[in-house]
Amino acid sequence: MIVTDAITWILDNRSTFMVAFNRHMLMCVISLGLAALISIPTGFMVARSPRAAFVSVNTAGSLRSIPSLAILAATMPFLGIGLLPSLVALIVLAIPPLLLNTILGIREIDPAVLNAAKGMGMGRREILWQIELPLAMPSIITGVRTSAIQVIGGAALASFIGGGGLGDFVNAGIALMNMPRLLVGALPIALLAIVAEILFGWLERRFTQKR
């Protein structure tokens, strides 16, 4: 069985596997974190201005139409190969869903709620933290979930531009036509994405129910 062969290979080469796995996780976490730090505050800033929101939504929408592979490849001429271009590409991949969902979440808030908050004497800052952020949260979580899936998949492709990670095993497996080696990469990548999908899907439902 190739699956058992793959598992045996992982157990025999635990340190090699862990290096690639950690690299993969590092790429995902850093790029998702930085993308969130960029897009969520930007989303809050532009959401209330129709023109800025229009520009951001359209830019993010067109950015989204460029395939992940092309974004990763396009960083190469500027940044060469390795971890840095991979991270930059993954951040670019993760921004549009986060930004779009943040803007959507804020715009869906009932203006009556904001007026009530103002009427109660809440300041700008209080409205942001106690009204807007909690109400926009389910939509933001949807953005995080979409971005996380994008980034985990993109990180698998980072191997093509020397970013390392689990994609390296898939590449080696195909180059050598070594099926167990292929699965050493492909199975954990798939599992990682499935876990992220289930975890964030659960979070999303929890936040929606609370509301």
With beta carbons less than 8 A apart as the criterion, state whether 168 and 22 touch. no
111: its two tokens: 């203006």
Among 7, 52, 187, 203, binds other proteins (CB under 8 A): 187
Q: Residue 110 — φ and ψ, nearest 5°?
A: -65, 120
The answer to the question of residue 106 lying near other proteins (CB under 8 A) is no
Contact flags string 120-159 toward other proteins, x per CB under 8 A: -----------------------------x--xxx-xx--
* Interface of this chain with other proteins, residues 46 to 65, rule: CB under 8 A: 62, 65
The answer to the question of residue 70 lying near other proteins (CB under 8 A) is yes
The answer to the question of residue 170 lying near other proteins (CB under 8 A) is yes
Contact region with other proteins (CB under 8 A), list: 34-42, 44-52, 100-108, 167-175: 167-175
Q: Nearest approach, Cβ of 182 to other proteins (angstroms)?
A: 5
Q: How far apart are CA 107 and CA 55, in angstroms?
A: 15
Q: How far apart are CA 68 and CA 83, in angstroms?
A: 16
**Contacts for 124 with CB less than 8 Å, ≥ 6 apart:** none
With beta carbons less than 8 A apart as the criterion, state whether 145 and 193 touch. no
Q: How far apart are CA 6 and CA 179, in angstroms?
A: 8
Q: Nearest approach, Cβ of 124 to other proteins (angstroms)?
A: 37
Please count the other Cβ atoms lying within 10 Å of the Cβ belonging to residue 144. 23
Q: Of the two residues 143 and 154, which places its CB atom closer to other proteins in the complex?
A: 154
Q: Nearest approach, Cβ of 166 to other proteins (angstroms)?
A: 8
Q: How far apart are CA 90 and CA 39, in angstroms?
A: 13
Binding site for other proteins (CB under 8 A): 2, 62, 65-71, 73-74, 76-77, 149, 152-154, 156-157, 160-161, 167, 170, 173-174, 179, 182-183, 185-187, 189-190, 193-194, 196-198, 201
